């Protein structure tokens, strides 16, 4: 397992044109990101055409996003079933916009040598539960937003109602896959884990991602997964992702990876975007320090766990095409 580099004790200086000269910014910081995605330099958005698929050979300049709309996903009233790891800073972000692209520059060798810090306390899969069940040790008596899907996966009677047998079966699945709390509530983490397991044998069984010569990053917003394939062979993933929330959808189409910045820092959100690989304006693949199955989506970026984003960094190169289709459930 690669050694983890602790965050520097003092902020590190690098020649970064995204910030005023002399500004000190920590390049490796363990932080909890709740809805992160943003460019690092406020460039006015291009007033051009809508978000049609962009040729791979061009760097896309997206149209402005529509105004935010209210959340309608059934899980948005849920809360994390367990608190964040002790000592994990939390960044609250509620500002637009993902249209703004970063100011591209060539990171120095010294900057690239710094590995973003790993999450404090490691990565966990936390289920979202009703507020009135927060901290409860007993089996959940409420049907979750994905009750029918979970019942079908576990080969239980599919009626959308929670029973003692349902809860016991769901708890066994949650315990076996490290989902906490394992209270038997059929929430987004439980169903997302099942969805990922179902995709592992052949993520491109529906042939939604074009088979090209060379690498292609495939992003399925319907199932909230992504993978990398070289021709028809899957070389990375599939892994779980978190895409854009309502009003801030991840743009569909074909885009090139046009800039990679391992220690990216969003000056819009004043928060880290580790292992950022930009493909459409300010939208990028990058790690988050929050739960990948959180009920609220990103601000447009394709979020991954820290471990998956670190592995994806080695699986893609500048210029590789990114194929995105579908729609995040509830968005």
Which residues are identified as catalytic? 286, 301
Q: Length of the chain in residues, anyone?
A: 331
What gap in Å lies between CA 91 and CA 270, rounded to an integer?
8
Residues in CB range of 195: below 8 A, 6 or more apart: 223, 224, 225
Say how far apart CA 204 and CA 126 lie, in whole Å: 27
129 and 174 in contact (C-beta within 8 Å)? Answer: no
Segment holding 190, helix H or strand E: helix 188-199
CA 238 to CA 201: how far, in whole Å? Answer: 9
Distance in Å from the first CA to the final CA of the chain: 37
Region of 146 (left: φ > 0; alpha: ψ -120 to 50; beta: rest) is alpha
| Residue 101 exposed, middle or buried by CB count within 10 Å (0-12, 13-18, 19+) | buried
Please state the separation of Cα 209 from the chain's center in Å. Answer: 19
């Amino acid at each position: 397992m690669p050694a983890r580099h602790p965050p520097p004790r003092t902020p590190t200086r690098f020649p970064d044109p995204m910030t005023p000269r002399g500004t000190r910014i920590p390049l490796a910081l363990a932080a909890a990101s709740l809805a992160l995605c943003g460019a690092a330099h406020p460039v006015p958005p291009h007033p051009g055409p809508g978000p049609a698929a962009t040729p791979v050979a061009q760097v896309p300049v997206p149209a402005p996003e529509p105004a935010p709309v209210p959340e309608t996903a059934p899980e948005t009233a849920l809360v994390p079933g367990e608190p964040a790891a002790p000592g994990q800073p939390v960044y609250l972000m509620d500002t637009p916009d993902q249209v703004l692209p970063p100011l591209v520059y060539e990171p120095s060798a010294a900057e690239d040598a710094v590995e973003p810090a790993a999450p404090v306390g490691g990565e966990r899969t936390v289920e979202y539960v009703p507020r009135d069940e927060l901290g409860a040790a007993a089996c959940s008596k409420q049907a979750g937003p994905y009750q029918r899907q979970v019942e079908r996966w576990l080969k239980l009677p599919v009626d959308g109602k929670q029973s003692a047998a349902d809860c016991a079966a769901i708890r066994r699945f949650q315990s076996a896959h490290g989902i906490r709390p394992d209270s038997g509530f059929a929430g987004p983490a439980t169903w997302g884990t099942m969805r990922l397991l179902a995709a592992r044998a052949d993520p491109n069984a529906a042939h939604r991602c074009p088979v090209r010569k060379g690498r292609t990053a495939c992003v399925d917003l319907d199932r909230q997964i992504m993978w990398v394939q070289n021709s028809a062979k899957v070389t990375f993933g599939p892994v779980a992702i978190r895409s854009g929330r309502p009003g801030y959808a991840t743009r569909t189409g074909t885009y090139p990876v046009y800039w990679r910045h391992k220690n990216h820092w969003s000056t819009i959100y004043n928060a880290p975007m580790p292992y950022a690989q930009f493909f459409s304006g300010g939208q990028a693949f990058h790690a988050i320090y929050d739960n990948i199955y959180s009920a609220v989506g990103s601000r447009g970026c394709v979020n991954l766990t820290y471990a998956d984003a670190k592995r994806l960094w080695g699986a893609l190169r500048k210029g590789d095409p990114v194929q995105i289709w579908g729609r995040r459930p509830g968005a």
